[in-house]
């Protein structure tokens, strides 16, 4: 059964982010989001106080309690509007995939609302008028809603263990229009698919796989990234051991999207064949103590196979079909080099 992030998981992650020393463990995506939004709050809070002091001592105005937060709000609204609209004024977007403007717009609105919240709370230091208190309460409730939306998204992306962060709109490699349409459709798909990525070195295979996975985590789907050599080890690992080692609430077998990278890259392990073939993986699955669980993963999970060499395409298709996957659910994408 596929897993989702629960309220309990969110509380556990929040405790982890708020307690402990970053110098000892680094920061997480969730912590980064919290710090970013607190920064937006502070950038609303502090300028409002400065504007209030200016409007009461340097450039007196009739209603400084009103104009101080409004000035801050106008300043940051203009700044965020420029950030959002400026790409539209520049030359046409040349990357194959278009940005998710709805998502970008919602993120921009979220930032603005944190600015507004800081501005209103900043003026509360000087006045507890009922109107300000009501507006502050409303904005605070909105930021709680934004937290409930964005924080789990950062958790989904964080728990995927991607090797780097990238969105599909940032991917910029040669690709056919047919494959662009296929990938755009895959982003919307909810039924399990097997995506076979073929291409030589530096054709963008890994970046494309991670980009697809990132788009799925933003849709609040569980995902897990691994290399082929580690995947072969995972086939022999119990779910309990995996969860304990990775400190997550679900096993790789319970994710909705699995990315298996570096299947036929330069292999230096003498215990592995030069070419990791479908037959080799099938043999390990057949010998595994978790054979049935592993086969179930192949049947019910969307898997992105970053294969590399395309001359064995039919063998990979046959391998996936042998586990009961329909041919229509196997998507082959071949990438060219720059």
Q: Which domains does the chain have, with CATH numbers?
A: 7-159 (no CATH), 168-334 (3.40.50.300)
Sheet containing 223-227: give its strands across.
223-227, 257-261, 302-308, 194-198, 330-334
Cα gap 33→148, rounded to integer Å: 12
pTM above 0.85, yes or no: yes
Cα gap 135→127, rounded to integer Å: 13
Residue labelled with tokens 């659910």: 329
Which residue would you say has higher pLDDT here, 170 or 2? 170
Give the angle 226-232-235 at the CA atoms, nearest 5°.
100
What was the pLDDT predicted at 295?
Answer: 95
Instruction: Name the average pLDDT for the chain.
Output: 90
Instruction: Dig out the tokens for 227 from the structure.
Output: 């290399």
Contact call for residues 309 and 276 (beta carbons, < 8 A): no
Contact call for residues 255 and 224 (beta carbons, < 8 A): yes
Which residue would you say has higher pLDDT here, 22 or 140? 140
Q: How confident is the model at residue 111 (pLDDT cuts 50, 70, 90)?
A: very high
Residue-wise pLDDT for 277-309, tens only, equals 899 999 999 999 999 999 999 999 999 999 987
**DSSP three-state, residue 309:** coil
Query: DSSP character for 6?
Result: -
Instruction: Dig out the tokens for 293 from the structure.
Output: 């669980």
**DSSP three-state, residue 134:** helix
Residue by residue, DSSP assigns 170-201 as G--S---HHHHHHHHHHHH--S--EEEEE--T
Question: What are the backbone angles phi and psi of residue 139, rounded to the nearest 5°?
Answer: -65, -35
Q: How confident is the model at residue 59 (pLDDT cuts 50, 70, 90)?
A: confident
Residue-wise pLDDT for 221-241, tens only, equals 999 999 999 999 999 999 999
Give the angle 324-326-331 at the CA atoms, nearest 5°.
125
Contact call for residues 158 and 9 (beta carbons, < 8 A): no
Q: Could you count the other beta carbons within 10 Å of the beta carbon of residue 7?
A: 9
């Amino acid at each position: 059964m596929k897993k989702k992030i629960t309220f309990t998981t969110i509380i556990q992650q929040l405790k982890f982010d708020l307690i402990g020393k970053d110098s000892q463990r680094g920061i997480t995506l969730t912590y980064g989001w919290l710090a970013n939004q607190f920064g937006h709050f502070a950038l609303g809070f502090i300028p409002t106080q400065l504007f209030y002091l200016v409007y009461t001592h340097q450039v007196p105005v009739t209603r400084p309690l009103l104009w101080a937060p409004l000035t801050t709000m106008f300043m940051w609204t203009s700044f965020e509007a420029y950030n959002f609209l400026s790409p539209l004024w520049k030359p046409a977007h040349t990357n194959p995939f278009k940005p998710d403007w709805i998502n970008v717009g919602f993120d921009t609105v979220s930032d603005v609302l944190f600015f507004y919240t800081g501005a209103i709370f900043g003026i509360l230091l000087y006045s507890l008028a009922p109107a300000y208190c009501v507006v502050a309460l409303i904005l605070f409730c909105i930021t709680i809603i934004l937290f409930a939306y964005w924080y789990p998204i950062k958790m989904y992306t964080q728990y995927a263990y991607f090797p780097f962060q990238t969105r599909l709109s940032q991917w910029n490699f040669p690709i056919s229009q047919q494959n662009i349409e296929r990938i755009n459709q895959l982003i919307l798909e909810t039924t399990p698919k097997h995506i076979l990525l073929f291409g030589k070195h530096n054709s963008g295979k890994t970046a494309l796989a991670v980009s697809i996975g990132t788009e799925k985590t933003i849709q609040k789907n569980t995902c897990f990234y691994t290399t082929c050599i580690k995947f072969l080890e995972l086939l022999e690992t119990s779910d309990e051991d995996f969860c304990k080692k990775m400190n997550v609430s679900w096993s790789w077998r319970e994710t909705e999207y699995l990315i298996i990278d570096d299947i036929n890259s330069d292999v230096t392990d003498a215990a592995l064949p030069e070419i990791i073939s479908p037959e080799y993986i099938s043999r390990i699955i057949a010998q595994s103590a978790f054979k049935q669980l592993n086969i179930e993963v192949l049947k019910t999970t969307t898997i992105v196979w970053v294969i590399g060499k395309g001359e064995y395409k039919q063998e990979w298709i046959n391998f996936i079909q042998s586990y009961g996957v329909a041919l229509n659910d196997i998507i082959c994408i071949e990438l060219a080099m720059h």
